[in-house]
Structure 1
Amino acid sequence: MMLGNEQQHLAPIPSYEEATSDYGGADEEGGERLNLLNRSGTSQSSSSAPPTRRDGYRPPYVESVRSSSDSSFLSAFNSPRSSAESLQREMVQMEVMEGEIEEQRRRGSGGLRAFSKRFSSSLSAISLPRNPFRGLRCRMPNVPPVPCLSNMNSAALVPVYRLIAVVVALIVVYVLLATDVLSFRSVGQEYLGPFDPESVRSYAEHGIDKDRIKHWLEYISSFDHMAGTEGDFVLAKYIQGQLSSFGQKTERMQYDVYLNYPTPGGRRVWMDEPKWEAQLEEPVLKESPHDKRPSENTLVFHGHSKKGNVKGPVIYANYGSREDFQKLKAQGIEVNGAIALIRNGGRNSDLGIKIKAAEEEGVVGVLAFSDPKTEGWDWPDSAVMRGSVSLTSLLPGDVLSPGWPSLPGASDRLSHHNNKALVNIPSLPLSYKDTRPLLQAIKGKGKKVDDDWVGGVPHVDEYWTGAVGSSPVVNLQNENYENYRQPVWNVLGEIQGTDRLEEKIVIGNHRDAWCFGASDPNSGTAIMLEVARVLGKMMEFGWKPLRTIVFANWDAKEYNLIGSTEFVEEAGPGVKDNVIAYINLDAAVTGTQFTAAGSPSMQYVVKKVLGRVSDPLTHKLYNDTWNSEDMPGLGAGGDYTAFQHYAGISSVDLSFSGKGYPAHSCFDNFAWTKDIGDPGFIYHETLGKIVILLLLELSDHAIIPLDMMAYWHAINKHWKELQSWVKQKVDASAGQGAKLNLDPLKNAVNTALGHIMKFTQMNEGWMGQDVDGLYVELDDWAVSQRRSRSIRMGNFDKHLLDVTKGGGVPGRLWFKHMIMAPQADNAHEVEYFPGVRAAVNQGHWDVAQSEVDKVADLIKRASRKLLDEVSDSSPT
């Protein structure tokens, strides 16, 4: 199959006013409103006029309300089996499910040729072809009078008509078989539907269109859309309409969560001596490309920041890490009662942890600025990096409902006061233009800093720490509006797979942005829409994947990964039982360097896909240039967090990155992407190809291509690193009862190797394939065994969860995965064997030993269940 020269027809982009003109309407864009998640009761509304974007970022006055109990999406995540552990027995005993076979042959037009078709279906989707004359009410043809039949009545001619109909039907069937329109040779094969696998991949890869990606990104980034605001609501409707237009069943899901917004004029930073006040807000860059008026910037603030008015002497604390504060203390620099001035980024880029560290040292407020030396590119002097100061490494999601969903009207909510997931001192972000007077004001005060503390702010020739007794006093005012039940909206679309017993694949990225969000996150949104469009075009030809594909557009990620976390918490065990893999996009294209991070099981399939895609400039295949042997794991920097670390779903995060981009500022707009970030949108197109091919590999193979040996190699590597790290900790604590026996973990890793090798080297008849890669064993046992093998591999990550009562990483029980978790002091980075490390860091050696024993049992159990899915279903 080849892609023809399909005429490009891009719908005109609406203006912001046009997009919001049906603001209070009930219909979805691009398709019929399905009410798939219609919450009991009436929609909430207000008679007041819609708020403007400048008016405190209040929510839309019409909200989408739905019932989780009636949700077709959530009910679809309910397991069709009694439990994952009993699946093998059910598959062995199940009857062949009757499905429906459709033969659709289309003539090519406009140079676009249809797929090369092959009638192929899994055994669970087989049925006899429908009677083509069923339901037709036809008049019998007029038969000329025949002399010998002239005395016969019409009833006597019925057998003759029947005989003629049978002969005609036989002729039709013969023609269909002879022309290979119908071919039952590939029933139960790797790909479903009447399509050749290679033709499907080729069409999908070549169907990705960079001009369409550019088209979507231009609109999505043409106005601001912070979580819960009217711009966010407009885009939720827009994306839902687009997914509907691609043939997907869609739904918009609402959660009511704790968010804060800046109040106009409520934030100030100033000094009385010398007289100075920060500008704070970013300049409006230029007119909106579609509204022909000045574009509106969002106000500058930190999400989930503590409101209040504080003042104190300014102290420069480098990146604001715990190590930096310890260095200040060692130099005799007091910080209690001070305002800390810190740089964004560094080895620890977790802003919430930095502010928590300052709080623990007695700092009363924090000012965080973007240093051009750290950012790695020509960062504008007036750009401001907004961000969340939530403690994501402790608890993602809505901080008022830890571990359960924040459904509309729910009463089980915690208080935000003294909430362990929130910081307790105010903070604000600054541009380095606003930071310059502060750094100049403390010159010669305190201690002159070492070279590694020197930043790159122009016209600051020396960097000093400042001192409590001599630094100028800075006033920090941070007034913001807090909404404890702010509506936010996830948008989901679904391509139904042909096998209802197969588990699902989810691809997602978030929609909300701190301002226009061209790179972060909507380069990912635009790519996801293009992937959905191409798959929708394939569906028009009759193609469907084996496994259901769910497209998810999350909300409120920027605050604390809220949308994806609330969804996973609401779906509960249904997600664990029914999702086999998750693909994440976010700031998808900010450079030219391909990056991937995820579960080790995803390593092979990513590498395989990269063998088809080459760099658009160097023309080298990515599987030759990407270091797949060292694919990093996942912290908590994206919407994969709830899937990987809470539900144990094998996940991967994909992007093209570079030295830097105007992250979380209003400079991250369409103009930056078009002129600097990705001129020509060639890397957007390239990532689109990678994503759609990866989706096909995961959704359309009878045996999902996860790699258990790669997982073992990762565990073995990180266990050895843990061994060296523990030895250092024990040596440093000599004489204090430090002792830890790691032999159980060593034995578990060795035992797992034997199980995984046996599983990987298995070669049975139901695994046999022909030269085209299609499976030759087609009976119900073979189909069930292939399905079972996929589910066993998909369950490997899930078996590494500690789901016992009170289980999880010590001190951070929301995180259930015991091999991989975000670092406790940096949500953006990963650490391995987090339970053991947490206990050792706290000096709790008895707890550390229990954690070693627990994770050893989980490793042995996970590897054993690759071979025996139905035995010993209880945790050991």
Structure 2
Amino acid sequence: MSSPNPRKIVFIVLLSFFAFLLGVITGYFSRPVHKDSSQKLLEKLNRDGDWHLFEQFKEHVDTGYIDKVVRDLTRRPGLAGTPQQKKNAEYIFDLWQQEGLKAEIVQYNVLLSYPKGNHTNKVSLYDASGRELFTSKPQEKVLVDEEAPEEVVQPFNAYSPSGLVKGDLVYVNYGRAEDFKRLKEAGINVSGKIALARYGKIFRGNKVKFAEENGAKGVILYSDPADYCSPGDERYFPGGMWLPGSGVQRGNVVVVKGDQSTQGYPSTNYSYRPSEEEMSKQFPSIPCHPIGYDDAYFLLSSLVSGEVWQDWQGSLNFTYHLTGLLDNRTVQMDIQNENVYRPIYNVIAKISGTIEADRAVIIGCHRDAWVYGAVDPISGTAILMETARIFAKIYRSGWRPRRSIVLCSWDAEEYGLLGSYEWVEDNMKWLQNEAVTYVNIDTGIAGNYTFSSRTVPLLHDAVYKATMELPSPYDSSITLYQDWRSKSESRNELLPHPKIQPIGAGSDHTPFIALVGIPSTYSKYIGYIVDGKVIPINDYPLYHTRYEQYELLKMIDPGYTLAKIVTLFNCELIRQLVDARILPLNVRTYAGVIALNSRRLEKLRTAFTENNVEYDEFLASTERLKTAARIFHQKIVHLDQNNPLQVRMINDKLQSVERAFIVPEGLPLRPMYRHLLQSPSGLNYYGGTGFPGLEDLLELPDSDPEKWPQIRKHITILTHSIYSLATFLERD
């Protein structure tokens, strides 16, 4: 028998090995693992948010942490452009880093405004011989111990031009458009005089704008005790929350926001900056200066001609008059301000989403203050920091958001939303594509009476739902929603909910909504209840004064009960927006509000008809949008939510709704505001209105030959935008 062939044996062994290897490979790739991984991926894509997360929010809220942030940030003045504000940015950055958040400090170089050098801005009263009878105080009285009183900026109005003006005085009430109209009808001429206006009702910049348009050569602003104190209650700060006579409200007076030197573009090192002469056209042309009511007393009591109407009477103890200074006295304003470039610092952090990481819910609050800013904005900054800390903690414990969360601490808001505007302009492209919503905080605790919200209609439902999940801070047997509804002065006109105000433009949500079309909301606690009585005052009495200190916030919210509730509200609202499979944005509500506002124009039907305005087609577009929105939400009800592609398509549509009203050319008379519906009112920058561009045009005098042609054009743009949105919603 012949011996085995070695080569043949090697061949058989190798053949067997490769056959075995082929079998292993075939078996591996034919096993049902691929199907299992696909199923797991599908389950991940289709998972709902953790609806029990709210219980963790309640467990984790730490009022001690809130108090620490408030104390730390109110020790020294936090004016934008100062070394302390840079330190405050680093403080926020360090806290977020400690919580494991990926944070960065983003710097911009912007145009800020300050009193010039050692000059003291002042208002003086002279007799006929030129003898000085009175001069306004250079600074507010120090009423409590302060760590750095020398850092307190003197009262001034940012971006007011310098000037030395002298002349007669006229009292213009709140300085609203209707106030100037009333004076004109009464034969009171403002032209060539200095206007004295009390703070309240509308944005101070609008007061200056209206005074300038009526020919005034200067504006003096003061806080009347009728608006900032409680009649008969002498508990002035520091003995209470009311405004002392020396308290002065600071603030900017520009009606177009963002850095004035780079409008439309971010303030980067490569940005073009116009000349001072070019920029001067963007600022008021007349000086403006704020004083306290102790000083205003000397001016108002010197007016002797024309008793004011009853609704113009303030609370100083004499009868107010409109004009005519006693014994030919004159008033002089001596204002020296300067505009200078300074760096500002935003702090940005992010928690990345796991399913839709390219979709972002943004939450922000500004950090700068005119002085100590315990209420505005530190009450809100503390809430932002606690909200960030809670989400960072539950993230470390294993929770993963569906969408990303971006946390923002803004600088230089008080100068006209500079920090947020520059960042939005710098990140415009990705925000247009990826931002879902913006949640603003700012003044989180402005009072102790009731919850309040300024929100775009798309987010009404989400706000209501969040408040329904929370207990009332004063009665745990009812919800925050029920407490809010019982105290609301008026109801939502579409449903029996508490009234939500139009978003307006008084804070950092403005560039998000009015520039890019990102649905925005801004909620806080407002109003005062003292000794069981509701006090009807404007905002909070110590607004933008030296006295907005730590002690004030502790008077309003002693145990941070309200701060805790507002923190929980923001956490729950963000949870909805971040984790809901279908975004909680209601187009039906938006369509209903648009239709309601369009019907309010019915009183103008005759004028529209006489001037060939297509009002009926405009109404028809709003009705079609209501139908399209109803059918669209019916589709959502019947949507296969286990199909991630269909879910994404619906969410993309919801996310794009607000963008339908962004027009590149902006409003007809205010091109820097690009949202047809959610830009601020031209009569009051703080407030909103149904159709802001149309309101601007309707305010033009009938003698203006361009008035009605522009109205016809703008109605066409509105109608087209509404029809376009309806068509967008109707498409499969």
For residues 201 and 332 of structure 1, the distance between their equivalents in structure 2, rounded to whole angstroms, comes to 61
The amino acid of 1:642's aligned partner reads: P
Q: 2:377 touches 2:444 (CA, 8 Å); kept in 1?
A: yes
Q: 2:89 aligns with which of 212, 228, 236?
A: 236
For residues 679 and 295 of structure 1, the distance between their equivalents in structure 2, rounded to whole angstroms, comes to 28
- Tell me the equivalent position of 2:692: 834
Q: Is the counterpart of residue 712 in structure 1 residue 575 in structure 2?
A: no
Query: Equivalent residue of 1:691, what SS?
Result: helix
Q: 2:417 touches 2:508 (CA, 8 Å); kept in 1?
A: yes
- Tell me the equivalent position of 1:360: 213
- Tell me the equivalent position of 1:331: 186
- Tell me the equivalent position of 2:620: 747
For residues 522 and 47 of structure 2, the distance between their equivalents in structure 1, rounded to whole angstroms, comes to 26
Q: Is the counterpart of residue 422 in structure 1 residue 302 in structure 2?
A: no
Q: Offset at 1:470?
A: 5.0
- Tell me the equivalent position of 2:238: none
Q: Offset at 1:746?
A: 1.6
Q: Is the counterpart of residue 702 in structure 1 residue 581 in structure 2?
A: yes
Instruction: Write out per-residue CA displacement over residues 215-253 of structure 1, whole angstroms, 9 at most, x where no aligned residue.
Output: 211111111011111121111111111122222211111
Query: Equivalent residue of 1:447, what SS?
Result: strand
Q: Is the counterpart of residue 656 in structure 1 residue 517 in structure 2?
A: no
- Tell me the equivalent position of 1:386: 250
- The TM-score normalised by the length of structure 2 is 0.85
1:353-752 pair list within 5 angstroms: 353-377=206-230, 378-391=242-255, 395-413=256-274, 415=276, 417=278, 419-442=280-303, 445-457=304-316, 460-467=317-324, 471-483=328-340, 485-500=341-356, 502-591=358-447, 592-619=449-476, 620-624=478-482, 625-626=484-485, 627=491, 629=495, 630-658=499-527, 659=537, 660-675=540-555, 677-724=556-603, 726-727=604-605, 738-752=611-625
The amino acid of 2:723's aligned partner reads: K
Count of residue pairs brought into register by the alignment = 651
Q: Is the counterpart of residue 808 in structure 1 residue 669 in structure 2?
A: no
Instruction: Write out per-residue CA displacement over residues 810-855 of structure 1, whole angstroms, 9 at most, x where no aligned residue.
Output: 0111211112321112101111222333333335222222222221
Q: Offset at 1:605?
A: 1.0
For residues 204 and 577 of structure 2, the distance between their equivalents in structure 1, rounded to whole angstroms, comes to 35
More helix by share: 2
Instruction: Write out per-residue CA displacement over residues 393-449 of structure 1, whole angstroms, 9 at most, x where no aligned residue.
Output: xx211122221111134234353556443101111110001111112222xx22111
Q: 1:489 touches 1:554 (CA, 8 Å); kept in 2?
A: yes
Q: 1:645 touches 1:815 (CA, 8 Å); kept in 2?
A: yes
- Tell me the equivalent position of 2:164: 309
Q: 1:280 touches 1:430 (CA, 8 Å); kept in 2?
A: no
Instruction: Write out per-residue CA displacement over residues 294-341 of structure 1, whole angstroms, 9 at most, x where no aligned residue.
Output: 675321100111112111122222122233233333333333332221
For residues 352 and 224 of structure 2, the distance between their equivalents in structure 1, rounded to whole angstroms, comes to 48
- Tell me the equivalent position of 1:34: none
For residues 722 and 396 of structure 1, the distance between their equivalents in structure 2, rounded to whole angstroms, comes to 29
Structure 1 gap segments, 5+ residues each: 1-158, 160-181, 732-736, 769-776, 870-876
Query: Equivalent residue of 1:740, what SS?
Result: coil
Q: Is the counterpart of residue 825 in structure 1 residue 683 in structure 2?
A: yes
Label 1:851 to 1:360 Cα distance change in 2 as closer, same or farther (>3 A).
closer
Q: 2:70 touches 2:374 (CA, 8 Å); kept in 1?
A: yes
For residues 185 and 427 of structure 1, the distance between their equivalents in structure 2, rounded to whole angstroms, comes to 62
For residues 476 and 302 of structure 1, the distance between their equivalents in structure 2, rounded to whole angstroms, comes to 13
- Tell me the equivalent position of 1:29: none
Q: Offset at 1:730?
A: 5.2
For residues 102 and 279 of structure 2, the distance between their equivalents in structure 1, rounded to whole angstroms, comes to 42
1:257-268 pair list within 5 angstroms: 257-263=110-116, 264-268=118-122
Label 1:826 to 1:185 Cα distance change in 2 as closer, same or farther (>3 A).
closer
Instruction: Write out per-residue CA displacement over residues 81-140 of structure 1, whole angstroms, 9 at most, x where no aligned residue.
Output: xxxxxxxxxxxxxxxxxxxxxxxxxxxxxxxxxxxxxxxxxxxxxxxxxxxxxxxxxxxx
Q: Is the counterpart of residue 318 in structure 1 residue 173 in structure 2?
A: yes
1:73-84 pair list within 5 angstroms: none
Q: Offset at 1:584?
A: 0.5
The amino acid of 2:507's aligned partner reads: G
Q: Offset at 1:535?
A: 0.8
- Tell me the equivalent position of 2:54: 201
- Tell me the equivalent position of 1:872: none
- Tell me the equivalent position of 1:859: 722
Instruction: Write out per-residue CA displacement over residues 166-190 of structure 1, whole angstroms, 9 at most, x where no aligned residue.
Output: xxxxxxxxxxxxxxxx999953233
Q: Offset at 1:863?
A: 2.8
Q: 1:502 touches 1:787 (CA, 8 Å); kept in 2?
A: no
Label 1:463 to 1:794 Cα distance change in 2 as closer, same or farther (>3 A).
same
Q: Offset at 1:501?
A: 5.2
Instruction: Write out per-residue CA displacement over residues 671-704 of structure 1, whole angstroms, 9 at most, x where no aligned residue.
Output: 01102x1121100100000000111110111211
Instruction: Write out per-residue CA displacement over residues 712-753 of structure 1, whole angstroms, 9 at most, x where no aligned residue.
Output: 1111111111233x237559xxxxx53422122122122212
Instruction: Write out per-residue CA displacement over residues 775-815 of structure 1, whole angstroms, 9 at most, x where no aligned residue.
Output: xx3xxxx1122122112101100112113xxx221011121
Query: Equivalent residue of 1:866, what SS?
Result: helix
Q: Offset at 1:648?
A: 0.6
Q: 2:164 touches 2:335 (CA, 8 Å); kept in 1?
A: yes
Cα-Cα RMSD: 2.4
Label 1:184 to 1:322 Cα distance change in 2 as closer, same or farther (>3 A).
closer
The amino acid of 2:410's aligned partner reads: W
- Tell me the equivalent position of 1:70: none
Instruction: Write out per-residue CA displacement over residues 235-293 of structure 1, whole angstroms, 9 at most, x where no aligned residue.
Output: 111111112222221111122211111133331222232622111311122224xx5x7
For residues 243 and 821 of structure 1, the distance between their equivalents in structure 2, rounded to whole angstroms, comes to 33
Moved over 6 A (4+): 182-185
Q: Offset at 1:351?
A: 1.0
For residues 279 and 104 of structure 2, the distance between their equivalents in structure 1, rounded to whole angstroms, comes to 36
For residues 691 and 539 of structure 1, the distance between their equivalents in structure 2, rounded to whole angstroms, comes to 17
Q: 2:454 touches 2:504 (CA, 8 Å); kept in 1?
A: no
Q: Offset at 1:862?
A: 1.6
The amino acid of 2:224's aligned partner reads: D
Q: 1:800 touches 1:818 (CA, 8 Å); kept in 2?
A: yes
Q: Percent identity?
A: 27
For residues 100 and 275 of structure 2, the distance between their equivalents in structure 1, rounded to whole angstroms, comes to 40
Q: Offset at 1:536?
A: 0.9
For residues 703 and 322 of structure 1, the distance between their equivalents in structure 2, rounded to whole angstroms, comes to 44
- Tell me the equivalent position of 2:23: none
1:761-772 pair list within 5 angstroms: 761-762=634-635, 767-768=640-641
Query: Equivalent residue of 2:205, what SS?
Result: helix
The amino acid of 2:46's aligned partner reads: Q
- The TM-score normalised by the length of structure 1 is 0.71
Instruction: Write out per-residue CA displacement over residues 507-547 of structure 1, whole angstroms, 9 at most, x where no aligned residue.
Output: 01111111100101111100000000011111111222111
Deviates more, 1:411-420 or 1:565-574: 411-420
For residues 382 and 600 of structure 2, the distance between their equivalents in structure 1, rounded to whole angstroms, comes to 39
Q: 1:400 touches 1:416 (CA, 8 Å); kept in 2?
A: no
Q: 2:708 aligns with which of 842, 845, 865?
A: 845
The amino acid of 1:714's aligned partner reads: V
Structure 2 gap segments, 5+ residues each: 1-16, 18-38, 231-241, 486-490, 528-536
Q: 1:334 touches 1:468 (CA, 8 Å); kept in 2?
A: no
Deviates more, 1:308-317 or 1:577-586: 308-317
